[in-house]
Every structure is written in C-alpha cells, then in structure tokens.
C-alpha cells in the first residue's frame, strides 16, 4: 500500500521487499547483502554473484530480453527493467517493494508471507508432465541453475551460455590466460559445462560458444584493449570474433574435446551469430583441428540474422546437425529494434510476420535436409510462438526455466489439435 515510486517493465514475476542498494561500479557489488534490492543501470555477467544474494533487481535500462531479465528468471528473483531513473531516485538503505509482474516499485515493505519468488509466482496448476512429440527443452544462463532446470523435467538444454562461465571471473579471456594459464582457462569452461551436463545426463545439453559484446568485455580486467563500438550488438561478437581470434577460440574447442573424452556424449556444440556457410565451414575446420570430429559429435548454429535464415540451405550442405533460432537477435536485426532499448520496447515483436516467415522458411528447408530445428530465444516461452512452431514442424522448443511446464502443455494441446484435424 506504499506510494508508487517508479514504474518499469515487469521482467521476472514475484514480490520482494528489502533495502535498496545502488550499484554504479563493479567494486560496489560487495555492499549488496542477502535480501537487498539491487538498483543499477544494467546488469552484466560479472554481477551474477551479487544478484544471487539479492531478493530483487531493478535496472534503469533494458527490455524483456536483457541480461537482468533472463538471469532473474533463472534465479527466481523478481525483477523490473527499464525503470528509467531508479539509480537517481532510490537511496541506499531505502526500504522498497518491487512487483516483478506489474513492474512497480513502491515505498515500504510487505510482510514475509506476502513475498513470492518467480518460481512460486508462475507455478503450473497441473504438475503432471505431458508426453509430446516435439521436445521441450530449457535455457540455462548460469551453471548454478542447472539442477533447478533439470527438475523441470525438460528434455534437455536448448541453450547453455558459455559467456557467464568466463565473464564471471571478471577477467577477459586474454587476461585470465595471462594470469592463470591456458589450462586453467580450459578447466573454467569444463567445470561450468560439466555441472549442467551431469544434472541432465543423458539428456542433451547444447552449449553455445562465447558470444559477449565488447562493452561487456570492456568492464572486465584487461578490457582496456577492447575496441569502442557505437553499437556492440552489431559488432565484434559471436563467431566473427571467434574466427578472428582463433588462437583463443581453440581453448573453447579444447574444452569440448576434453568433455567428450571424459564421456559427456550428451554435450552439443553451437556456434552463434553465423551469417553464411563460409562462417560454418571455418568453424567446422577449427573444430576438426582441435580434435572434435564433426561427423561423430552433434553440432550446429544459431539462426540470429536474416542472412543466416536465407543461407540455411548452404549451411545444411556444410554439415550442420541442427539450427536453433535466437529470436532475441533475429527480431532486433529483422525489425531494426534494439532489444535493450526501453524507448522502442513496444516495437520489439518476435511474432512480427517478417520474423515468422524467416523462421517458417528455415524450418521447411531444414526438414528437407534432415537438420533438426529448435528455438532458444525468449519467444519460445510464448504460447503464440509455441503454436506457430509446432504447426510448422519444429523439432524442439527451449523455454525459460519458469515456463517449461506451461510450454509442455501448450505443445500437447497443439499436437492434439493437429492430430484431430488430420483425422477429420
């Protein structure tokens, strides 16, 4: 019942109360204690340890697909993004309550029994896992969420992000290797992947190679050598960075080789932000040089640009086993809408006809080449997108941890309807 202080976008449902703690620099993270509310411009992977301690998260910037929104849902922490001037309006120690569904920040606190985390807020009414022909997988951003993700009953991990394993060290790959050695860097990756692979074995775990924009690297130790880019999302990231710095990329591939050698045959390799078959061929060649046999191991690509969707036939001929839609980027690149810009958040629409046509055409081509298709963007958790994908014959859908059960039931309903329609 407190006065409304701020209004933003509800990014992770639930209600949390606590003292606000404004974080402007990384060296201020230590002041965030158990049960505090983090208030910051925008969260980054190296802030995850503090986010785990917090009961809620508020950011000035960002949209529903921002780092804060994605990680908060995995942690089960209520979150509000795009709140504008939160860091200016809220004082350290000020008691506030956030509603991660309504996007509101109010003054004062509520009783403990009125507070809910993101898990409780979206707990499915029907706890029974339905059987579906379309696999329903789960997205995992941070390895620590693996056990909770596995408990959803998902058919595997459609996306495990590697960057959180590396950036959580607060050092760029170059600096980490310089300080600790090449083997330590490889082990850092192995430890992160192995934990999730253990949680899910023998269910598949699809690991995306490093895909962090330069502005995130620049905040790390060693980041002073990173280029300053006007729009990092369109810049030096994904497979283009990996191919350009193959001397570093080989350590990621070495981590995969060792994981396979250790018996983790449920691990799959996924390359981000490819544009065409040339990207795919170069990545495959480097994989072979590292001792990973592309004829034996499952590997594939992210479809995140219109160019990738339009080049899918050539990439299929290059030998990929799967193609996974990263709808967050595919939407922003197709519609020219910055997905982290709250000023154009209302124009970010994964269900836009142009985006759906790119997805539908890609699925059709992949079926001709016996290439599996999946979705691992946030849109995979939306009922409308689920129905579209099942109707078009997608192989699997990977959803947020808190949406897996709902997606399973939505898939089941759509598959039953398709079956009935075929009988009629």
Could you write out the DSSP letters of every residue in 295-350? TTS-EEEEE-SHHHHHTHHHHHHTT-SEEEE-HHHHHHHHHT--TT-GGGGGG--T
pLDDT of the residue at 111: 83
Q: How confident is the model at residue 122 (pLDDT cuts 50, 70, 90)?
A: very low
Find residue 152's DSSP bridge partners.
Answer: none
- Ordered strands of the 372-375 beta sheet: 372-375, 322-325, 299-303, 267-271, 205-208, 157-161, 135-140, 396-399
H-type alpha helices, 207-245 = 214-218, 238-244
The span from the CA of 17 to the CA of 419, in Å, is: 47
Cβ atoms of residues 239 and 209 within 8 Å: yes
Whether 228 is catalytic is no
Inter-residue contact 53 to 90 (CB < 8 Å): no
Residues 136-148 have pLDDT tens digits of 999 998 888 898 8
Sign of CA dihedral 60, 44, 47, 379: positive
Please name each of the domains of the chain with its CATH number: 4-119 (3.50.30.10), 125-423 (3.20.20.60)
Distance CA 106, CA 5 (A): 5
Alpha-carbon span 130 to 414, nearest angstrom = 12
Is 409 assigned a catalytic role? no
Give tens-digit pLDDT for 371-415. 999 999 889 989 999 999 999 999 999 998 888 999 999 999 999
Q: From the candidates 67, 164, 366, 409, give the one annotated as an active-site residue.
A: 67
| Position 170 pLDDT exceeds 70 | yes
- What pLDDT score was predicted for residue 22? 95
CA dihedral 260, 265, 268, 269 (to 10 degrees): 10
Question: Does position 339 have pLDDT exceeding 80, yes or no?
Answer: no
Question: Rounded CA gap, 55 and 114, in Å?
Answer: 13
> Residue 319: its pLDDT value, please?
97
pLDDT category of residue 1 using cuts at 50, 70 and 90:
low
pLDDT band at 49 (very low <50, low <70, confident <90, very high): confident
* Angstrom distance (rounded) from CA 2 to CA 297: 56
Question: Which DSSP letter does residue 171 get?
Answer: B
Residue burial 68-106, b: 16+ Cβ < 10 Å; e: rest: bbbbbbbbbbbbbbbbeebbebbeeebebbbbbbebbbb
CB 18 within 8 A of CB 35: yes
Query: Residue 290 — very low, low, confident or very high, per pLDDT cuts 50/70/90?
Result: very high
Q: Which of 142, 191, 185, 189 is nearest to 164 (CA)?
A: 142
What is the pLDDT at residue 219? 81
Cis amide bond preceding 202, omega within 30: yes
First-to-last CA distance in the chain? 54
Band of pLDDT at residue 129, cut at 50, 70 and 90: confident
pLDDT of 89 reads: 94
pLDDT in tens, 180-229: 999 999 999 999 999 999 999 999 999 999 998 898 888 889 999 999 99
Question: Does 305 score more than 50 pLDDT?
Answer: yes
List 164, 366, 376, 409, catalytic entry: 376
CA angle centred on 277, ends 330 and 267, rounded to 5°: 75
Where is average pLDDT lowest: 26-35, 97-106, 152-161?
26-35
Residue 51 has pLDDT above 50, yes or no: yes
Note the pLDDT of residue 341: 76
Question: What does the pLDDT average to over 98-124?
Answer: 77
Q: Specify the DSSP element, H or E, that contains 145.
A: none
Pick from 349, 339, 402: nearest CA to 81: 339
Give the pLDDT of residue 141.
87
Q: Does residue 315 carry a pLDDT above 70?
A: yes
Quickly state the pLDDT bin for 117 (edges 50, 70, 90).
Answer: low
Q: What is the DSSP secondary structure assignment for residue 118, as one 8-state letter?
A: H
For residues 345, 37, 99 and 40, what is the CA-based torsion angle, rounded to 10 degrees? -10
Cβ 206 vs Cβ 160: under 8 Å = yes
> Smallest Cα–Cα separation from 362: which of 302, 419, 422, 416?
302
Average pLDDT over the chain, rounded to whole?
92
pLDDT tens, 2-47? 799 999 999 998 999 999 999 988 778 889 999 999 999 999 877 8
pLDDT of amino acid 127: 57
Number of Cα atoms under 13 Å in the Cβ half of residue 81: 25
């Amino acid at each position: 019942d407190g006065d409304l202080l701020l209004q933003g976008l509800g990014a992770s449902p639930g209600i949390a109360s606590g003292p606000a703690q404004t974080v402007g620099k990384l060296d201020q993270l230590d002041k965030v204690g158990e049960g505090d509310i983090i208030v910051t411009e925008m969260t980054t992977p190296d802030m995850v340890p503090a986010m785990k301690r917090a009961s809620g998260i508020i950011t000035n910037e960002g949209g529903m697909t921002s780092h804060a929104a994605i990680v908060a849902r995995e942690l089960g922490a209520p979150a509000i993004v795009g709140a504008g001037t939160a860091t200016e309006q809220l004082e350290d120690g000020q008691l506030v309550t956030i509603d991660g569904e309504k996007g509101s920040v109010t003054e004062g606190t509520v009783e403990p029994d009125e507070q809910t985390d993101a898990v409780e807020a979206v707990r499915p009414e029907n706890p029974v896992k339905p059987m579906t022909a379309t696999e329903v997988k789960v997205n995992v951003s941070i390895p620590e969420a693996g056990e909770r993700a596995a408990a959803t009953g998902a058919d595997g991990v459609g996306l495990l992000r590697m960057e959180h394993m590396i950036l959580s060290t607060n050092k760029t790959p170059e600096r980490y290797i310089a300080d600790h050695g090449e083997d330590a860097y490889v082990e850092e990756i192995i430890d992160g992947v192995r934990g999730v692979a253990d949680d899910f074995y023998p269910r598949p775990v699809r690991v995306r190679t490093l895909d962090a924009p330069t502005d995130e690297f620049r905040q790390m130790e060693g980041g002073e050598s990173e280029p300053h880019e006007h729009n990092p999302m369109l810049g030096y990231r994904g497979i283009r960075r990996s191919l350009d710095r193959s001397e570093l990329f080989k350590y990621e591939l070495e981590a995969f080789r060792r994981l396979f050698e250790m018996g983790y045959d449920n691990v799959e390799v996924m390359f981000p932000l490819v544009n065409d078959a040339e990207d795919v061929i170069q990545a495959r060649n480097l994989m072979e040089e590292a001792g990973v046999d592309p004829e034996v191991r499952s590997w594939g690509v992210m479809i995140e640009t219109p160019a990738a969707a339009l080049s899918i036939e050539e990439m299929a001929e290059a030998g990929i086993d799967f193609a996974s839609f990263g709808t967050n980027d595919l939407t922003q690149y197709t519609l020219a809408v910055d997905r982290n810009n709250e000023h154009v958040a209302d124009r970010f629409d994964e269900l836009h006809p142009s985006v759906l046509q790119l997805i539908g055409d890609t699925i059709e081509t992949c079926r001709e080449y016996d290439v599996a298709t999946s979705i691992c963007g946030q849109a995979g958790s939306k009922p409308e997108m689920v129905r579209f994908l099942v109707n078009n014959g997608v192989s699997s859908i990977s959803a947020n941890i808190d949406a897996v059960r709902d997606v399973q039931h939505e898939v089941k309903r759509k598959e039953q309807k398709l079956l009935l329609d075929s009988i009629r």
